[in-house]
Structure 1
């Protein structure tokens, strides 16, 4: 696959030494391995090849694969989750956890200023937290398959939109000329504003015909030919009471 191709990918990741599954796009595999969560979404995911959407080793493999191909890839730590870093094992005063009403116990995953780590020990008023990824320093194995390459512009735009704005009610996209318009719920559009720049950058890279991105609350109805509006929506003396709303209903998902 060429760089910046958009593909739908299925995969399952395992620890090479134990064979334990730690990630998968398959609902069946998730249930079999104890990873299933009721609200989780399973199925192929969109990946921009060469963009760093997946582990470095997987990105390299995708560049050498074809549509429909399935491959087993073994990755060293340098191509997967990295080597363990001793500097990422930190000591935190127990009092800081108590201020946040957290009772730290070994194995608990905690948030330290935006970094997630796992509590290792609690002793003498001090808590040792490991901020390394649980899979750091480990060899892993992935079974990966390119389901298909996305070539249609509308489908590509919609998949990228859903990838960057993963909402419960799917965000909608529409290409108008050289502008990609993305419809987001008004109440959360400002919260998602920081994602607009990286989203726009990615869209322009994979869809050169797009020159800009706009966030909108709704899509305007397509303009009607001259005379057609008067023919289909006759005005009464009271105004345009007989006309219907021309805005399309939200797409059903």
Structure 2
């Protein structure tokens, strides 16, 4: 049985009930996370708690335990000129905005003459999802993610130091699913 503080390595595929895949680690490196650190959605983490090393399972997760219900309180109206600084955007675009805690992603919900309505909900908010999960490895007790990664793959920082992240990244649009 797994416990809070155990670090796990998993492969997963996330899809909508109709079968449309929205995320997967298959063909890439598996992910690592520590149970109880709330790095994963609640339903995913709970599903892993019930597994043992080598297990595979499929779990259906309701929106409330996945990426949350759609929350209209996460819509905010901002001054168009101040927020964009002349940058051209259209409804549905995803933009970044600096905050005290780092950078947040917002979807342009609506563009008015002088204001823009930003949506801070996850693209997957309000959606039920299905995950196929394979638990590959468990490290019992409190092991940091960096320590877990470095044991097999070297430094996490080294792995991403040379990646070329583009400002023109495309984002998955889950609104039509």
Whether 1:92 and 2:78 are equivalent positions in the alignment is: yes
Displacement, 1:150?
3.2
TM-score (norm 1): 0.53
- Please identify which structure carries the higher strand content: 2
Q: What corresponds to 2:21 in structure 1?
A: 21
- Please identify which structure carries the higher helix content: 1
Indicate the structure (1 or 2) with the bigger Cα radius of gyration.
Answer: 1
Task: Provide the rounded CA distance (Å) in 2 between the counterparts of 1:156 and 1:111.
Answer: 26
Residue 40 of structure 2 aligns to a residue whose secondary structure is: coil
Displacement, 1:138?
0.8
Task: Provide the rounded CA distance (Å) in 2 between the counterparts of 1:158 and 1:81.
Answer: 28
In structure 2, do the counterparts of structure 1 residues 155 and 127 end up closer, same or farther at CA, with 3 Å as the change threshold? closer
Whether 1:116 and 2:105 are equivalent positions in the alignment is: yes
Unaligned runs of 5+ in 2: 162-177
In structure 2, do the counterparts of structure 1 residues 19 and 156 end up closer, same or farther at CA, with 3 Å as the change threshold? closer
For residues 67-146 of structure 1, the aligned pairs below 5 Å read 67-99=53-85, 101-112=86-97, 113=99, 114-146=103-135
TM-score (norm 2): 0.74
Displacement, 1:168?
3.0
Aligned length: 153
In structure 2, do the counterparts of structure 1 residues 154 and 20 end up closer, same or farther at CA, with 3 Å as the change threshold? closer
Task: Provide the rounded CA distance (Å) in 1 between the counterparts of 2:84 and 2:40.
Answer: 37
In structure 2, do the counterparts of structure 1 residues 98 and 57 end up closer, same or farther at CA, with 3 Å as the change threshold? closer
Is the Cα–Cα contact under 8 Å of residues 97 and 103 in structure 1 kept in the other structure? Answer: no
Tell me the alpha carbon deviations over residues 15-52 of structure 1, each in whole angstroms, 9 at most, x when there is no partner.
22x4222211112xxxxxxxxxxxxxx22122222332
Unaligned runs of 5+ in 1: 28-41, 172-253
